[in-house]
Structure 1
């Protein structure tokens, strides 16, 4: 049976933190990465980021829509009723960055839902905003991914389970909206990674990895990533795998896992 080889993108928000952000691009390239992702580009100009990508022959494969005011507990605006104007301005800003940086995929953040809020209203607001973005982004061949966040990382986020992600993708019903399958979050909430992936693989556009429970390199903890990477390859997953983990120490020193547990095909 034919196989598709795993391809990994360095997450520059979490990796190479021993360096200033703009120096992490060259560090990732020197470490052998051909692609990068990060949470937020908006504190830097499009020109600065494009320069780093081009100078280091890197492809940007994913970033997030704006998170809002983190100091006030916001973690995305796209699900907040009454904030549609702000959310849609952010959707356009994300598109501007994606076009300039040639990024094919954007993760649209939902929001934290206050315990006493109307959950159904938050969900419908999110659906409406993602549909708005999907129709706008499709004109530029840009995909949207939705990511479930486990409560241990972000309590009261709109959705925490991969099954909720899949249901939202179904409800939104747009051809360029997919699941962002973060193995760390999936294991913490749902478990049974093999069956989850096999069931949802046709709607998965981006994968992220980290060890569980400590969110370090994928060569420790309760997940057998040698098995998981082999699973991805056997199922011909061809999109990127983002390394969204906190290195135990120096980032470069921790990259031995790429040689030790990634399948050779």
Structure 2
């Protein structure tokens, strides 16, 4: 049966961030994820996890200046030292919070840029991150993101993500399979889940095209959940969607899975 993690960056936004942990637990979630923890101390977040019996599924490494529009640094030449410092900070947080997965964002690349130069930088940074993370038993994740929501993002396709992981050659480097992004860019999700399953380290969901609850839109998630179960996936499925109204009121789609 699928195991679901609430994404606290998108869900429960009617509460202050640290209060979202209790809200998610009260609704029945056993795990959480979010984009970034760095506005709070790792100890404060760990206290919220422990107080509410929650597992931390994953979070992202620092992405550069998010407020200024940056979306990662891993594929940005000239910022390797900054990337390494940022990833080191993520590892420090993970050591306290207890998660074993960290998502590394590639960054935005201008149109017409030298793709090979950015790819070489990406490979170098991912190799460093995977080696550093291995000592803590942590898996590094990369995520193909659709260019409609994030124009210029370096990595868009599942096959490219898998090829990059194979080229780096680290056992603890895997692809984050976000059903929402994959449907927008490529479609054919079932074939891609089966084709790439060995290289998938985390799965996320949202309705397409509006990124609301997964019972809205063009994807048949009950079917996809059966496929994912059939493949033997035992990780968390991150609910990375924006509730159409209140978070708790929109959880009707999830209750049959919890009852099961």
- TM-score normalised by structure 1 residue count: 0.96
- Matched residue count: 260
Contact 1:230 1:263 in 2 (8 A): no
- Matching residue within 51, 55, 79 for 1:59: 55
Unpaired runs of 5+ in structure 2?
none
- Residue by residue over 1:172-213, the C-alpha shift from the partner in whole angstroms, topping out at 9 and shown as x without a partner, is 110100110000000000100110000001111100000000
- Matching residue within 238, 241, 256 for 1:242: 238
2:212 alignment counterpart? 216
- CA distance in structure 2 between the aligned counterparts of 1:8 and 1:184, rounded to whole angstroms: 16
CA change 1:77–1:240 in 2 (3 A) is: same
CA change 1:99–1:263 in 2 (3 A) is: closer
- CA distance in structure 2 between the aligned counterparts of 1:175 and 1:49, rounded to whole angstroms: 29
- CA distance in structure 2 between the aligned counterparts of 1:86 and 1:228, rounded to whole angstroms: 39
1:6 aligns with 2:2: yes
Helix, strand or coil at the partner of 1:81: coil
Measured on the aligned residues, the alpha-carbon RMSD in Å equals 1.2
- TM-score normalised by structure 2 residue count: 0.97
- Residue by residue over 1:95-114, the C-alpha shift from the partner in whole angstroms, topping out at 9 and shown as x without a partner, is 00011101110001111001
2:101 alignment counterpart? 105
2:178 alignment counterpart? 182
Unpaired runs of 5+ in structure 1?
none
- CA distance in structure 1 between the aligned counterparts of 2:28 and 2:17, rounded to whole angstroms: 18
- CA distance in structure 2 between the aligned counterparts of 1:62 and 1:242, rounded to whole angstroms: 9
1:17 alignment counterpart? 13
